[in-house]
Copies of this chain bind each other. A is one copy, B any other.
Amino acid sequence: MKLTKEQHQEILDQQSQKNTTKRVTSPELEKILYEALPVLDHGFIRVVDYMGDDTSIVQSARVSYGKGTKKVSTDAGLIKYLMRHRHSTPFEMCEIKYHVKLPIFIARQWIRHRTANVNEYSARYSILDKEFYIPDKQHLAAQSTNNRQGRGSLINGSQADEILNVLKEDAERNYKNYEKMLNETYDGDIIDEKKQGLARELARMNLTLNSYTQWYWKTDLLNLLNFLSLRADSHAQYEIRAYADVMMNTVKKWVPTTYDAFIDYRVGGMELSAKGKEIIKKMIEGKKCDYESSGLSKREWNELMGSFGFSQNLV
């Protein structure tokens, strides 16, 4: 990630602010506020604003429960209780805003989370940055053979080089042609005084899906956790997981108690179906229990056994 001089200065300016407020603050999050945390080759994530902290969740839960909650011992206990029982509305009382730079094909996955506010850089209005995502060799994987939407083994050697070359050349050529059609370079120079420039809203269609875009993305804590439980998951595409992992860390700084409960009940937790529950019960009671009599599909059986690390029971 390389910031322009202007961007760098803007961040310094923002970070040098020292305002007084009666609002609650999150000291650990303040430390990294506005900082550009690098993701992938040219992307970043910046926390640019936030509202509330762990105590805001507790406060609104106590309004809901009224005098009744006085007996719930601690704030941490209450947050764990809310998380465990999916009492979700108090987590909506915190809000965070990120500035994100990311490849367009990842932006397309991300935007599927509808419950957020978004302002994206408009390529109708302005010229997109001259940057595209090229994977590291360690992430250049073949199509998985058993998971239709996953990656399999790494691609090595000359085939890897070929692929990376293609990605790079195609993106660069298309960007060059984008500038040529616009009749204006990224730096603002007119290319051919005798020609017109194609409308930006049209020229952009020549760009590749690994071109970088950027946006402000604002959401409440509940929806952020939903986003993270899907996108920081091992089934998520590596490139979006890279963003989710960095965001996970910002959550830890922002609302540490909620973060712990989230790790325990969501990230590290699992779901059991009615049938799965019956099987687990039998196993605990030492009763005979196998795939054939389980009523589960082979896939379900393997997922269930795999969750507990019982590899000898896989079929």
- Residues in chain A within 8 A of chain B (CB atoms): 14-15, 17-25, 30, 33-34, 49-52, 56, 59-61, 63-69, 77, 80-81, 84, 89-90, 92-93, 95, 97, 99, 103-105, 107-108, 111-112, 114-115, 117-127, 133, 135, 139-144, 148-153, 155, 159, 163, 166-167, 170-171, 173-174, 177, 180-182, 195-202, 204-211, 214-216, 218, 220, 237, 263-265, 267-277, 280-281, 283-284, 286, 297, 299-300, 307-310
A15 CB, nearest partner CB in chain B, Å: 6
Report yes or no: B270 in contact with A264, Cβ–Cβ below 8 A.
no
Distance (whole angstroms) from the CB of A145 to the closest CB of chain B: 10
A148-B166 CB under 8 A given contacts A17-B24, A182-B143: no
A3: min CB distance to chain B, Å? 15
Complex formed: what's the CA distance from A263 to B63 in Å?
33
Q: Are B275 and A264 in touch, CB under 8 angstroms?
A: yes
Knowing A151-B199, A181-B163, A209-B205, the reply to whether A122 touches B64 (Cβ < 8 A) is: yes
CA distance A140 to B30 in the complex (A): 49
Bound complex: CA of A269 vs CA of B182, how far in Å? 35
Pairwise interchain contact A65-B148, C-beta atoms closer than 8 A: yes
Interface of A is mostly: mixed
- Which partner residue on chain B sits nearest A109 by CB separation? B124
Whether A19 contacts B18 in the complex (CB less than 8 A), given A66-B125, A142-B196, A284-B280, comes out as no
- In the complex, the answer to whether A207 meets B208 with C-beta atoms within 8 Å is yes
From B22, B90, B97, B201, contact of A119 by CB (8 A): B90
Contacts of A299 in B (CB 8 A): 81
B140–A198 touching, CB < 8 Å: yes
Which residue of B52, B127, B143, B208 is within 8 Å of A208 (Cβ)? B208
Q: Determine the residue in chain B with the shortest Cβ distance to A72.
A: B148
Tell me which residues across on chain B come within 8 A of A14, comparing CB atoms: 22
Interface contact B208-A206, CB-CB below 8 Å: yes
Q: Measured between alpha carbons, how far is A149 from B22 in the docked complex, in Å?
A: 34
CA A159 to CA B181, docked complex, whole Å = 9
Tell me which of A33, A51, A69, A281 has the highest count of chain B C-beta atoms within 10 A of its own C-beta: A51
Query: How far is B177's CA from A271's CA once the two chains are assembled, in angstroms?
Result: 41
Question: With the chains together, A86 CA to B182 CA distance in Å?
Answer: 28
- Whether A198 contacts B155 by the Cβ 8 Å rule is yes
- Once the chains bind, are B163 and A198 in contact (CB under 8 Å)? yes
A201 to B149, CA, bound (A): 7
CB nearest to A263 among chain B residues: B274
